[in-house]
Structure 1
Amino acid sequence: MMPEQKGLLSIIIVNYHSGNLVLNCIQSILDHHVAPNFEYIVVDNSNSHQDELMICNRFPFVQWVDMGYNAGFARANNAGMRLAKGDAFLLLNPDTIALDQSIAVCYQQLKAGNFCAAGVQLLDAAHAPQISGSRFVQGGLNHLLPIPYWGAFIRWAAYSAGSKAPGVQDVASEQQVDWISGAFLMVQRNAVATAGLMDEDFFLYGEEVEWCSRLKKVGQLVLFGNLKIIHLEGATINKSQNIQEQGYYNLYDRKGLQLMVSNHLRVRKQYGVGWFLFLLLNYTWGWLFFLLCSTVYETIRAANPFKQGKKVFAFGRNVARLWFLTPAIMRNKPRFYKMF
């Protein structure tokens, strides 16, 4: 890493064909806070000279880092952190909009408190609260919830047993969590020096959760509910992959495959082989359960029993690909799990 400069916040934004979003993001920060104690690092995964010219011409103070390939979230942010000079790093999505001086205040509160990382209240475009952080669920069992039919049954069983949702959507004034959304994740430099950088096996999804599990061994992670920022969830990846559905419940396309692989990879790294295999077997059974339940459901409705056949096939194909990767994931040797 570069030599540390006290009192400096390094803002790291990863660009992937999202030049206009990056422009709007940086401009929103400048609209509320024009100060010399921020440095801006844009790490480019798209090899887009057009985005570079557009962003650097408008904001010549931006440090532009060209990865030369689509390196994903972890590798790109690591490249930014290695170049950063601040005593804290802010990993900030390009599809975020600052509303006020929340970034500056978050930095001040982070440095003043006994925390190694901090987040804020994320809002959607309509200013409704989004999940900004979460508590860990043993073995990553929450990753079973998106499975069609089987996930709904697990959710019902969990709520019947008195379980509470782990995600924190309405943040208290100061609330400790196990992990913070990578859309806005501010980390103390000294905590990164102890816990290490993000795991570069990850391409996208799950990397900040695994990273936070290591950061949490260093110190406390906190959300500041009094600070807010807009997050246009999934805007960048959905646009680049021509995906209409937002959120993380679509398991039928390449984004769904990436989610499945990254979540299983995270569980393997954080909880071990046993929990990884437990999730994998549940996904396999979940595909069979999906096939059975969808056929019965459509038959009862006097509709085509194979009406959901395309989704059943697509989900099964992704499960098969996950099985193909299982030996490598279990060995836990360095490998870049890029599914896009």
Structure 2
Amino acid sequence: MVDLSIILVNYKSPQLLLDCLATVYAETTRHSFEIIVVDNDSQDNSRELTLAAYPQVIWIPMSYNSGFARANNAGITVSKGRNILLLNTDTLVKNGALDKTLDLFEARREYVACGVQLLNTDGTHQISGAHVTKGGLNTVLPLPYLGNFVRYWGYKLNARVPSVTSVSEVTDVDWIVGAFVMVRKEVLAKSGLLDEDFFMYAEEIEWCARLKKQGRLCLFEAPQVVHIGGGTSSSFYNADEWNNGKNLWNRRGRQIIISNQLRIYKEFGTAWFLILTWFYVADIPVFLIGLLIEKLVKGKKAKYSWRNFVEYTKNIGVLLRYCPKILSKKPYFYKVS
């Protein structure tokens, strides 16, 4: 049995994949590993380029764009490692990070899953994990205008900032950013694999909630991995949509809203799902009034546009159409068009 099975999901990003693999092979020298690439029907030359450079890679083709959860599960199913690493293709391994992570992980048996300090391309720290807030209220912080109100009262009530950007040696967290999640394979028999209702976004948060029932989760400071961000998803959504991941009025935002609410329902139940849905709906008049005032005061310098408002309203309409399906508890692939 190898020490580590590394699973990467590829979708029309051959160069990112090749760059990532180059760093994995160059920087991982002390532990045995296998690499499994699951391809989400890229319909390009990703397979040919990858296997020409790294013939030892195990290549699993999906017949459709199955998203993050289903593709990673396909890789986990055939993996042979004692430990599993879900690694984004838009990452670069630095200074023996995988070897360091395995050393730390093997020494700390109280942890069932771990992440590392993620870095932006300029070397600054990136959000690497987070603490869960009650009912998942932090997911409404990006709401135009209303999100600022929620944030204000969060600070007033001394609520803990959920995101962990700077890791200190070993930092316990409730969930780990999906760009780098290492898990002991033995715990998956009880925790289960990723939930295949999810297409993209929030699936690792819901998974970590189940993993945490089997043991603690942490981030390690010493291993560092560069996370470019938006690599695979930008091949599916318009590339310029990555410029602001908090936008809730575009196609990506529509998927984020549905996935977040699906996770809220699965993790916190019906009551919190309905409460957060109310926040999304209530923000429509708040958005309208706030935008009207800001336009009158700032004119073209207003933060949002009328198009933002219209598209946000449409996205909330989509959320409301999905509510009965989510509340039905029936399996469904929530890939939003």
Do they fold alike, i.e. is TM over 0.5?
Answer: yes
Unmatched runs of 5 consecutive residues or more in structure 1: none
Match of 1:192 among 188, 193, 197: 188
- Out of 231, 240, 250, which is 2:236 matched to? 240
The normalised TM-score by structure 1 is: 0.95
Matched residue, 2:318 = 321
The CA deviation at 1:91 is: 0.0
Alpha-carbon distance change, 297 to 89 in structure 1, aligned in 2, over 3 angstroms: same
Q: Give 1:304 deviation, angstroms.
A: 11
Q: Answer whether contact 2:5 2:85 (CA < 8 A) is retained.
A: yes
Query: Over aligned residues, Cα RMSD in angstroms?
Result: 1.7
* TM-score (normalizing by structure 2): 0.96
- Name the structure 1 match of 2:208: 212
Residue in 2 that maps onto 1:78:
73
1:42–1:63 CA contact under 8 A, matched in 2: yes
Q: Pairwise mapping of residues 48-67 of structure 1 onto structure 2 (< 5 A)? A: 48=43, 50-67=45-62
1:293 and 2:290 equivalent?
yes
Match of 2:113 in 1: 117
Relative to structure 1, the CA distance from residue 302 to residue 74 in structure 2 (aligned partners, 3 Å threshold; closer, same or farther) is closer
1:156-185: per-residue Cα shift (whole Å, max 9, x none)? 121122123111000010011100010000
**1:128 aligned to which of 124, 130, 139:** 124
Q: SS of the residue aligned with 1:199?
A: coil
Q: Partners of 2:14 and 2:189 in 1: how far apart?
A: 31
- 1:335 is matched with 332
Q: In the alignment, which of 11, 17, 22 is matched to residue 12 of structure 2?
A: 17
Aligned partners of 1:91 and 1:183 also within 8 Å: yes
Aligned residue for 2:36? 41
What fraction of aligned residue pairs are identical, expressed as a percent? 39
When residues 105 and 36 of structure 1 are mapped into structure 2, their CA distance, relative to the original with a 3 A threshold, is closer
1:38 Cα deviation after fit:
0.7
Q: Which amino acid aligns with 2:158?
A: G
Cα 1:236–1:246, aligned 2, differ >3 Å: closer, same or farther? farther
Q: Which runs of 5+ in 2 are unaligned?
A: none
- Kept in 2, the 8 Å contact 1:248–1:259? The answer is no
Give the partner amino acid of 2:270.
Answer: V
Deviation at 1:34, TM superposition (A): 4.1
SS in 1 for 2:117: strand
- Residue 46 of structure 1 and its aligned partner are, at CA, apart by 2.6
DSSP 3-state at the match of 2:105: helix
Task: Tell me if 1:141 matches 2:130.
Answer: no
Tell me the equivalent position of 1:92.
Answer: 87
Alignment deviations for residues 42-80 of structure 1 (CA, whole Å, 9 cap, x no partner): 000034351100001110000000011100000000000
Looking at structure 2, the residues matched to 36 and 228 of structure 1 have their Cα atoms a distance apart, in angstroms, of: 17
